[in-house]
A and B are shown apart, each in its own frame.
Chain A
Amino acid sequence: MDATWGSALVFLLLAFIAAAGGIITNYILRVRAKQELESKYTTYECGEEPEGDAWIQFHPRYYVVALVFVVFDAEAAFLFPWALNIRELGSFAVIEMFVFLGVLFFGWLYAWKKGALRWQ
């Protein structure tokens, strides 16, 4: 197992170098503007001065979906170890997981009927 994570670490490092390499190359090769214009650093909004920050509160619509997502993602975490061992575990495990999936299915149905999955 140690062997795996050694190469994993090296790979992550390589990936980071490849990504950060772009910035470093840019730093070496870049062309600099002769004069600095303040307007260059303004927020882009089609020529208009933006009205206030973008760090505001607004209705994100699908926020209930995020909750449903957590439920289903936790379910997926349960499913993976089970899916690997279906052949060994036999009928009991299959039936038990089907009960679990059934509960989830009704949860999904409930969320749908409640309108959680709809633009509101």
Chain B
Amino acid sequence: MTDIMDQLLNHPLGRGVLLGGVLVGLMMGVGAFSTYLERKFAGRIQNRLGPTIVGPFGLFQVIADGIKMLRKEIIIPRAADPVLFLLAPIVAVTLTLASAAVIPFAEGMEPVVTSVGLLWLLAFSGLLVFPVWWAGWASNNKYALFGSMRAVAQGVSYEIPLVMAALVPVILAGSLDFGAIVAAQKGGAWFIWSNPVGAIAFIIFFLASLAEANRIPFDIPEAESELIAGPSVEYTGILWGMFPLAEYIHTFIASAVASLMFFGGWLGPGPDGLHWMALKTGALYLAVYWLRWSLVRFRSDQLMRFCWHWLVPISLALIVIATLWVHAGFGGSA
């Protein structure tokens, strides 16, 4: 049995189908479950109960919502561009899932084995600006257009600190491969505290990821109170559902990547393995909700100023310090 498994995992197509299937399923599951988790968590924060009626602890709410959404009629407005309108949510989910292909949730368990894992991830999450823009443009609705315009400005701006903060662990580990980045953090030397820049780089990376995923406090493109949900205003049923789904998955992936790059991934005190990765990712993911339900929304110009006046120069400085640190021989040899 294990022989067959090994052979399958060593074959590129077998690996893609097997691990890829598991990962895609996991991501879709996480995305669906997040709707429940967020409502429950938000409820607790606001001293409410959240969903309680459907099933034990309201757990079947996910299924009920899913069926409701799947059965709703898809309406394409007369004024809209039908092709782009349909394509945008599908591409958004596809790209989000695709960016997860290189994430190892346990040692050597990534569906796509490559030495440029981080680059793959950044490339695919960078492309996510396009479907959001398509959605806003194809809707032929002014709210949607303004929303996606904001999303593009914000996504493009926060791409810079995101990439530069991600460079810090790359410099420290001397590799773009998540496996090697985690291996460089062995012995409790997690990048968040093994060097002077890790903690700040983590904060910048995490904030920029939130901005890319349009989470509060960076959810200006959606801004339901002023732009009536921005790019997704004309969407109905499951087509609409794909935007929040992509957003949840994107946030989850960002949490996973942050725990790989700064918190040692599957390494931990005691036995290494999947449980540590799950714990770290879960904790970061919940921290995102915590932020979302505690903070208010930025204003558009504040958001841009925060990025260009603070995050960009700070992340430039981080790269310089990290380089000097490694060059002085503190980082060990790769």
Contact = CB atoms under 8 A, between A and B. Distances in A.
Determine which residue in A26, A29, A94 has the highest number of CB atoms from chain B within 10 A of its CB, and name it: A26
Contacts of A76: 160, 163-164, 167
A76 to B, nearest CB: 4
Interface size bucket, B side?
A: 35 or more
A14 B23 CA distance: 10
B327 A94 contact: yes
Contacts of B114: 4, 8
A47 interface: no
A50 B142 contact: yes
A72 to B, nearest CB: 5
Contacts of B183: none
A65 B157 contact: yes
A30 B156 contact: no
A16 B28 CA distance: 12
Nearest to A18: B24
Contacts of B78: 41-43
Which secondary structure characterizes the binding site on chain A? helix
Interface in B294-334: 300-301, 304-305, 308-309, 312-313, 316, 319-320, 323-324, 326-327, 331, 333-334
B238 A43 contact: no
A117 B326 contact: no
Given A7-B111, A84-B170, A31 B73 contact: yes
B90 interface: yes
Interface stretch (B10-18, B37-45, B250-258, B281-289): B10-18
B242 A22 contact: yes
Interface in B59-92: 67, 70-80, 86, 89-92
B16 A14 contact: yes
A32 B73 contact: yes
B237 interface: yes
A4 B12 contact: yes
Determine which residue in A29, A32, A33, A85 has the highest number of CB atoms from chain B within 10 A of its CB, and name it: A29
B16 A26 contact: no
B98 A15 contact: yes
Determine which residue in A4, A22, A87 has the highest number of CB atoms from chain B within 10 A of its CB, and name it: A22
A119 B304 contact: yes
Contacts of A45: 141-143
A80 B12 contact: no
B160 A55 contact: no
Interface residues of A, number: 66
A98 interface: yes
Contacts of B157: 62, 65, 69
A55 B228 CA distance: 19
Contact of B94 (A15, A43, A94): A15
Nearest to B126: A73
A26 B304 contact: no
Contact of B79 (A6, A10, A43, A46): A43
A80 B17 CA distance: 30
B124 to A, nearest CB: 10
Interface stretch (B48-56, B171-179, B197-205, B206-214): B171-179
A60 B154 CA distance: 12
B222 interface: no
B12 A3 contact: yes
Contact of A73 (B20, B159, B175, B320): B159
B227 to A, nearest CB: 12
A11 B70 contact: no
Interface of A: 2-12, 14-16, 18-20, 22-23, 25-26, 29-33, 40-46, 50, 53-55, 60-62, 65-66, 68-69, 72-73, 76, 79-80, 83-87, 91, 94, 97-98, 101, 104-105, 108, 112, 117-119
Given A43-B80, A50-B142, 8 more contacts: A4-B12, A11-B24, A18-B94, A19-B90, A32-B73, A50-B79, A65-B304, A94-B323
Q: Kindly list the 5 A-B residue pairs having the minimum CB-CB distance in the complex, ordered from nearest.
A: A10-B16, A7-B16, A6-B12, A15-B97, A19-B93
